[in-house]
Structure 1
């Protein structure tokens, strides 16, 4: 089982990129399998002899990628064009008050084209005449649907002729490549995009992304059979955030929410939008565990809770006095839930320079252990600060 998978467990922005960056040092291949440049991964790395921290924001590339002679693109990858981004914005305007709050990066319209079998893939770029015919037809279809928005179709066709030549050296049959690596017992690291609660099937539909962000997306996105998947690490933010619309049961529209936003620097890597913040939700995480079957957790941004005198954790939902057995599919039900919380004491001290799990304050360890016991999954990694080295390794 040569494949290690890192997945988001909540609504995204859990800090997956830093763990991928750390794990990649012992890996032969880093891969992305879903989504596009709507997903942002920020890593902070010490540079030079003075270890001055520099921030890198990755979007399309895996966070742990060494590009020197090792960057490959699947010939089956779907292409997101500028007109997809325009259409994305037009669709949001069309929805009005029911806007989903997308990143407007064109992901939804591109996935729609894929599902309707009218999308274009990387390999289409290399037959320019055929590509041009297909491209014009797709754009004309969008004009008919949304009106004639400003777009230089012929200019784009010429631009992609040039881009195709630049891209060509990096394009491979990824299925053949990956399976050749697996046969050689090479170690493959898969970095998920977004997170489980944004999954098209199991997330808070329709306030979701357009891809499968769950473990199944690894198999369908990369063509890897389940038998090759070993460790599946779920990245859990020590509280909960989400971007865009949709119900959020533990959201704190108060000083706690403001504290989490400011101390946690909760602004989107891709959009710059202020994230909505709330307490950790173990109902969400239990739902996430059922689907993805995590072997361990990476608990991130635990240091953001340092100054709080007490910390709440959601452990159950009820509607009309009746406990819900799972996370509801119906958002009309979700907006009605009463959240049951457990309150734990805070630790009121900085953990930013902690080097081992044993050095953490007792109340901090109790917080970690409560999560482990409730979900039956061990915490293997703990983030105690934004830097690359601010991660404690704990036996899961």
Structure 2
């Protein structure tokens, strides 16, 4: 058996929820290792739909679940999510959920600052969700953040609140926003502390014990590789490392413990918010993909931009993130299209490129080079074996494998968990 890390290979929204749930049933423990409540998974279990933003997907099945130190945690959003799931019959106790004591907290001031900066940026805005993720990570690397463990000591907490507000009030003055008083923030933190602290602990020890016992661990990533703060389309990215190597750092295990990396990959391409998108379609085909694929953000409800499959970007994600196999999703959205296009390269100032350059200006200027493939008129929805797929659909999948340099390990053919074609079980790879 091996542990498995699940990451998105595009700009997020690849359909990780179903695949993670499918894998979490086979896992012994599920771990979130980065991001915050700005990303969402939608799970459908026994006909019930669950929308998760911060909680690991394992909680729905009662599996031991961990929020790692690489995650930034809004405690109020966390308990709102717990209450929402409780109303659906999911019990989330400290025996099921553990939270890293060294994880950083997202405070109300972070969301306020996030939204104020986006508003001040105007046309230059990044397109954040406004939930304070970026400002919380900024405080973390600047060594002024408040962490979960700080809630246990009022004196330490007061010292850290004062230090934090020295910085944030200066920013608020610059943005023309009212300054914050430490008393109100202290009161809010001391009120939430007794609710959060029972879940907190040194989760790295739990993971080490699970590893030594031979338990199967599923590392669950948020967003996608193209939103990675280092390797994505910077600055139009999230504020954490979304690639699989961060699974180790983000929860406190060695890199050798991560094991198989599965890249969730949509059969076409979408992204939310601003930023470069070489294969974006603004025509009827793009609108059709959005309507068929129900392309609206799980957390924000924002419509997603849609375009053709970009093999260059997925191949880059595979190479940078160590992805060994992909789970291809939403193939059925392409049903009925006469011709499909796949980006196989770019041109930039007359030069052919086989990768996306790092420069923001270059990323905005590249022109995709397409290869056309025949579509299929038959339905692929609900297929559970290769024999159920049209020949043209199989040809499309095989060509994608060649272009990205990785095999399809799983093929998802509908939101229903049983509508999955398993080629290689990641836990057994």
Normalised by the length of structure 2, the TM-score is 0.88
What is the DSSP-based 3-state SS (H/G/I as helix, E as strand, rest coil) of the residue aligned with 1:6?
strand
The corresponding residue for 2:48 is: 54
1:10 CA displacement: 0.4
Mapped to 2, the partners of 1:363 and 1:153 lie a distance apart of 63
Mapped to 1, the partners of 2:284 and 2:277 lie a distance apart of 17
1:83-137 alpha-carbon deviations (Å, 9 max, x no partner)? 1000001111222211000011100000000011111110001102321332243
1:184 CA displacement: 1.0
The corresponding residue for 2:292 is: 263
The corresponding residue for 1:50 is: none
Map residues 1-396 of structure 1 onto 2, 5 A cutoff: 2-46=2-46, 53-65=47-59, 66=62, 67=92, 69-147=95-173, 148-149=177-178, 153-395=182-424
1:151 CA displacement: 5.4
1:351-385 alpha-carbon deviations (Å, 9 max, x no partner)? 22322122111111111111112222110111111
Gaps of 5+ in 1: 47-52
Mapped to 2, the partners of 1:295 and 1:137 lie a distance apart of 44
1:51-75 alpha-carbon deviations (Å, 9 max, x no partner)? xx33211011112322452210000
Gaps of 5+ in 2: 63-91
Normalised by the length of structure 1, the TM-score is 0.95
1:264-320 alpha-carbon deviations (Å, 9 max, x no partner)? 000001111000000000010111011112111100111111121111110111112
1:2-56 alpha-carbon deviations (Å, 9 max, x no partner)? 421001000000011211101111211100001100111111222xxxxxx3321
What is the DSSP-based 3-state SS (H/G/I as helix, E as strand, rest coil) of the residue aligned with 2:44?
strand
1:238-263 alpha-carbon deviations (Å, 9 max, x no partner)? 10000111110000001011001111
1:189-241 alpha-carbon deviations (Å, 9 max, x no partner)? 00011111000100000000000101221121112212222211000011000
